Amino acid sequence: MVFTAGQIADILEGEVEGNSEITVHKLAKIEEGDKGSLTFLANPKYTSHIYTTKASVIIVNKDFSPNQDLETTLIKVNNAYESFSKLLEYYNQAKNMKSGIENPVFMAENVTYGENIFLGAFSYIGENVSIGENVTIYPNAYIGDNVTIDDNVTIHTGAKIYSETVVGKNCVIQSGAIVGSDGFGFVPDKKGIYNKIPQIGNVILEDDVDVGAGTTIDRATMGSTILRKGVKLDNQIQIAHNVEIGEHTVIAAQTGIAGSTKIGKRCMIGGQVGIVGHITIGDNVRIQAQSGIGRNIKDGEILQGSPALNYGDYNKSYVHFKNLPKIVNNINKLEKKSISGDKN
């Protein structure tokens, strides 16, 4: 795709300084820019590159004033970083914009769908599925019976959306994600043999939820597993049955959350965190990577370690832990002096 500097400025509500008709067809880092590329300058650390880059167009903050001659066209905006991010989103949407139904596709007769949808080849759409407008479902995706998908949703190749799942507006489900699989529910009998408990609930993804590649979200035993508005999940995360995650919480890769745990709003959870079941985590909680959470957490706590401690206490303890060999050595010397003194 080719854009002029003027077109880009219109999208970003910015001002062109230079040639508004110059064209770009690719994006680049400022230090790697060449002819035909678009880049941005937001961090002063990279200012020197603006005088050497070969990029055709550069997005800069309105207060940027060069102290040398430039051989490039500038687009001045209120916030260069946010504007470039907006442009990336626009570019990605334009690049991936598809419509129509490829062949072969299986779609049950009672499926309903809105305008401007795309169904990729070998996708499967089950009974009583409802699909909104501007929905993109890439090849080899599976949509089970009675699933509801709202407007502007993207479901990538190989994702599986099991029956009864509800997907809100503007959600993105990446390749290999599984939404609505059975929860891990088994009960032992008198002989110690584990028998499966039927999982008859569903999964609800509210608006603006992102689900990373290879992530699994289990359906509820009864009721719903719920991801509230704006939740963002990284790749390879396990969300167990009946978990509820509050609005705008973000969770990094390889985290596992056991059944029936409730997580609050605007939490940040690092990678490889393990969270036990049937606990409540408050709002605005920060959990550092590789922590183990086995208790209820109050609003605003910052935690690290396994089992997790208050972040400040963990750091203080870690100082002593690193010095433990030295401390033990000093204690041994004191004990030897004490024993030697007793003999004398």
Other C-beta atoms closer than 10 Å to the C-beta of 151 total 18
- Nearest alpha carbon to residue 41 among 69, 18, 25, 62: 62
Residue pair 75/14 in contact (Cβ under 8 Å)? The answer is: yes
Cis before 104? omega within 30: yes
Cis before 198? omega within 30: no
Tokens of 331: 């204690």
Mark out the alpha helices in the chain (DSSP H runs). Answer: 5-12, 80-96, 311-322, 324-343
* 278 has catalytic annotation: no
**Catalytic one among 49, 156, 241, 248?**
241
**Residue numbers annotated as active site:** 241
